Chains A and B, each alone.
Chain A
Amino acid sequence: MNKALPYQDIQTVCFAIAAVVLPFAAFVINFLFLGKSKLSGWVSTVAILVSSILSVIVFTRVWNVQQIHVKHLWFIIGDNTLYTGILLNNLSVLMLGLVSVIALPVHIYSTAYMKDDAGYSRYFQYLSFFCFSMLALVVMDNLILLYAFWELVGFSSYLLIGFWFDRATAVQANKKAFIINRIGDIGLLTAIIILFNQYHTFDIAQLFKDGGLIASSTINNGLWISGTTLTPVVWQYIACIGIFLGVAAKSAQFPLHTWLPDAMEGPTSVSALIHAATMVAAGVFLLGRVYPLFNEAELTTLAVIGCFTAFMAATIALTQNDLKRILAYSTISQLGYMVMAMGIGAYATSLFHLVTHAFFKCLLFLSAGIVIHQIKHIKEDNHLNIDPQDIANMGGLRKKLPLTFIATLIGGLALIGLPLTSGYLSKEGILVQAFEWAEHKGSAYMLLPVLASITSWLTAFYVARLILKVFYGDMHLLTLHPGIKIHIGDGGWRYKLPLVLLSLCCLFPLFSLNPLSHTQSWLLYGLSSYKGYTESIFEIIVPVVVNVLSLVVMYYAYIIYIKQSIWVSSQTGLLYRISFNEWYIDRFYNCVVVKFVLALSDMTFWFDRKVIDGFVNLLEKIGVFIAGIASWCDRYIVDGILHLSAAIVQAIGGFARRFQNGKVQYYLFSMLLAVIVVFILKILIWN
């Protein structure tokens, strides 16, 4: 601990640490001592309650006041000393507060929502663990630890998606989620390593503060220069790409967004907390942390991808029938907004949208959870074989679930971004700045804000569709299965309290006293030296046009789904199919990427078996073959020579034997013949 810190700050730091560690303590207690006990839910809830109170205290003490950075030696590797520490600045305390405050209602809600589940205790272990990781992620002061908790939140998300691990789809989904997140992790890790190589430190404060290492490094002549380290500039791009991959995976940006809709296999409360409000926002948070790293071109790329993601997800959400899937795609769409906002330089507004989105999306999910829960009750009471999440089965629920209806309405309006909601403030802020940015950049860039606006109208349409289909009209189940009993309601206080709390948070007063102008939000002033492009014409035009058209679109949706007077394009059109099949991206991944990787792995295994092992076996065979040759040589050449000489001798003997016929005269004849031959030769030579 840094001794120079005043007592007040030490206390603040202790509070922050306590806020982070309390959920972990809850996790440990649940894991070790409260095997199957129902107490575990309350342990976790109390922990997160205390944690959120402490977070709020820390928030008030740090916000716009000071930056606190404490660190402690972790380990030494080579010449590098690694510290573990926490960095409390506006961004981190905002996230700290946000996460714990949102986690609290979700915990309360969960105690009711999960009460009949066999894995109740396990659920709270995971949830507490997630809270710990997420809280730690936002306060960590160095990239390695950031990465560590970055992955741990992915891990806890993995656990929670696969919470019902006996469901095949759930475990498929969590595997997919983790692996896609891993792709992002690899990117992030690579980026961290590149930064470490470049700046020899992992310390976020040193790297990214004003006038820090990043700011003082330059790019010159294709080299990335900082201090004495020179690296080809391409590695700066790769670092940015790596970080983008991390962001894309965690925040479900194109092309790594496909895990998020599948992740809805987890309990709805988990979807609300992790896959809507907090973890998926971690990508945007990371962008905020490393914002100085990006240069102009990279930011533009970021904006394009964010915008495209937003648009694509919105089009997909138009046609989905699964309640949670619609919300998931809307989450992707909103995250696309945030990333785009980062890309166009609207740093503060992006984070502002992150905060507002967290509340209203959490609200929407919790409401959806209640709806699904009740439909499930109907299903179980009547032994029906239906999908409780299919909005085609619902309808007319506003009378049965009034509070839920109101909450959904508030959340939905905030999502559309109609005035008086928090969503209006942040979303209009992004759109306005997008137009201003495009005006500065040139006309071709105008496509971006226009697309974003279109997305906004699409959002209005699908939200309207969702609400109308679920809460208006008549219960479709009743028409399909007449005579079923329906005993449903909003549920107890543990359901109601979170909804009320979050609904309040979705309204404008929390963020800005002026319900119509985003520029006056206290949040924006805290996050950057935000000046805004003052007195721009867009400040007035954009909100008006967007909102008016949104209302038109909603009315259109009302006509389609309630009046049913206009029958929209047939449900087999090309656009419909693209949208319904989620742009075929998942199918593409399955058919191309996964198959390719599996084929590659089969190929390497084949290579291993056939080529390498084949080579080894070949060597063995060659060895045996050589041994065979040697033995053959031994038998036929070495022995052969022996046998041959023996055979020659025998042949000669046999030949000579023929002379030994026992005939005396024959011997004599031979002898004389020899003599005469000698004589003749002698004469011939003599002459």
Chain B
Amino acid sequence: MNILTLLIFTPVLFGLIILLLPSSMRASFKYITLLATLLQLGFSIWMYLNFKTGASYAGINHEEQFQFVQKLPWISLDLGGAGKMQIEYFVGIDGISVTLLVMTSLVLVIAAIASWEITSNLKGFFALFLLLDMAVVGVFCALDFFLFYTFYELMLLPLYFLIGMWGGARREYAAIKFFLYTLFGSVFMLLVMVGLYLSVKDPITGNHTFNMIQMMNPKNYIDGSVFSILSHQTILGMPARTVGFVVLFIAFAIKVPVVPLHTWLPDAHVEAPTPVSIILAGILLKIGGYGIIRICTGIFPDVAYSGAYWLGLLGVISILYGAFNALAQRDLKRMIAYSSVSHMGFVLLGIASQTAEGISGAVLQMVSHGFLSTMLFFLVGVIYNRVHDRDIYNFRGLGTLMPKYTVYVMVAFFASLGLPGFSAFVAEAFSLAGAFKSHNVNGLLPYWMAVCGSVGILLSAAYFLWTLQRMFFGTVSLKGGDIWKIALTDINWRETATLLPLALIALTLGVMPSLVLGKINDSVLALVQFTQNVFHY
């Protein structure tokens, strides 16, 4: 049994168990879910430990360099004259996916623990949760575009219901907004996927193929096909490959999210229940970044190269714009949501630089943000569960009431604002360093982008500290008066058990970034080389 397959489908198995169990056993559902996610975490850690590094395990555009590969024919239809339809169940990981997988598994465990707060319709919630679990893990593993797309779309469905059914007051609005946004992206992605399929031929079997790795090789493109590099086809007067790239980029940019495609995020976050917020911020946003690295730059390296300026510009705009917006918020969750926009801007900036530093920084930032945003949303959930209010102005002096909680909040806030010693610092510093270096290495991004990006770090300090000062320090003064004072108990053991590992991981990654960088370095170098070599064909 392939470990990746096991990783992907374990949650579904448990989900089925939950569906089969009678509702009278609903108290056990959360434990089953937790067990599933813990099992998954175990698998992913085993994979992380057994993951081989070295230039011959770089992955990216070499199929044989991927690890834990499983490749089975899935849909194989003989279409007569049109050749054979070749869709494979093809999973495998390289350096870029492995760290994200571990991060995902851990975040899912946290999310499962955060699901303790859910009280209604437990069977549905946990079944959907586990379905979502499978989909997100699958997205990181899939190497067949069709499989990728399947998981990608499969992800939307549970999310829609999870937000729409267990969310806050305006949940339907948020759910539909989210759904439309992401659907908008993925529908066009489907077209490009089909276009790619028709353009690419498997050199061995001679069939059209969805294999992403073969899509990366310019030699596999049929002469004169839509996306062939040499044939310079156009769609509506624009170069076809540019159109393909832009469409895929928009699909992923919505997920990241990149300004101006971000407005679903604050709404979805604010309305979603805590575990879903955690998954949204911790994992879903990373799928966007992962997609941009693996698919956008992997399959269209030439366009990524020529369009890097605009990518970088969008990244910088996201950083600043998100930060300014966060500064204007008074809903704690919304503030954190906008801070996510700002922090994910660094990912885009790093990717756009196409330097080893930039991309490593971007991946590290994704991993780090995965943990930190999980922590932040969990922390918001703690306070929301107690008093059902998140308005920053309604609290003051929580530091006196909830000292332990405040410590974790401070850890999360300072880690997020890039305090050295925590993971975000290394990530953001190197994203910026890569962006700055880019001008000298490949001339893609101007210097000023990195400088503007660094202003985002300043602004993040402003909004986090303002929140800290406003909510946690000063004399105790709560909107809800003594009732709230009683309700706002310090965190319990379950919450500690969730927050402590996250804080420790953020700290560990900050002190030893090699835990991530060591695994991704070969892949990143291979990717950089790959994007720069594409013009030699």
Contacts and interface: CB of A to CB of B under 8 A. Distances in A.
Interface stretch (B212-220, B226-234, B521-529): B521-529
B263 A612 contact: yes
Nearest to A613: B263
A74 interface: yes
Contacts of A655: none
Interface in A589-614: 597-598, 600-605, 608, 612-613
**What is the predominant secondary structure among interface residues of chain A facing chain B?**
helix
B447 interface: yes
Interface string A70-87: 000011111110000000
A662 to B, nearest CB: 64
Contact of A179 (B430, B437, B454, B461): B461
A446 to B, nearest CB: 37
A457 interface: no
A594 to B, nearest CB: 9
A415 interface: no
B253 to A, nearest CB: 13
A67 B314 CA distance: 47
A420 interface: no
Contacts of B468: 171, 175
A166 interface: yes
B461 A178 contact: yes
Given A179-B462, A190-B454, A604 B440 contact: no
A175 B469 contact: yes
Interface string B459-484: 00110011011001111100000000
Given A189-B429, A597-B327, A613-B263, A604 B400 contact: no
- Chain B interface size, under 10 / 10 to 19 / 20 to 34 / 35 or more: 35 or more
Contacts, number: 151
B514 A76 contact: yes
B462 A597 contact: yes
Interface residues of A, number: 55
B521 A148 contact: no
A149 B419 CA distance: 10
Contacts of A230: 440
B225 interface: no
A162 B356 contact: no
B420 A148 contact: yes
Contact of B421 (A148, A170, A178, A238): A148
Interface stretch (A96-104, A191-199, A554-562): A191-199
Contact of B458 (A74, A80, A152, A182): A182
B414 interface: yes
Given A151-B419, A167-B474, A168-B475, A186 B329 contact: no
Given A77-B521, A175-B469, A605-B329, A165 B356 contact: no
A190 B430 CA distance: 11
A602 B328 contact: yes
A321 interface: no
Most chain A CB within 10 A, of B181, B425, B451, is at B451
A189 B454 contact: yes
A260 B517 CA distance: 39
B357 interface: yes
Contacts of A197: 433, 436-437, 439-440
B243 interface: no
B265 to A, nearest CB: 11
A620 B521 CA distance: 44
Contact of A601 (B263, B325, B513): B325
B370 interface: no
Contacts of B513: 75, 77
Contacts of A80: 356-357
15 contacts: A75-B518, A77-B430, A80-B357, A148-B425, A155-B414, A168-B475, A175-B469, A182-B457, A186-B455, A189-B457, A193-B450, A601-B328, A604-B321, A605-B328, A616-B177
Given A185-B457, A193-B429, 11 more contacts: A77-B430, A144-B429, A147-B429, A148-B421, A166-B473, A166-B476, A179-B458, A179-B461, A182-B457, A193-B433, A615-B260
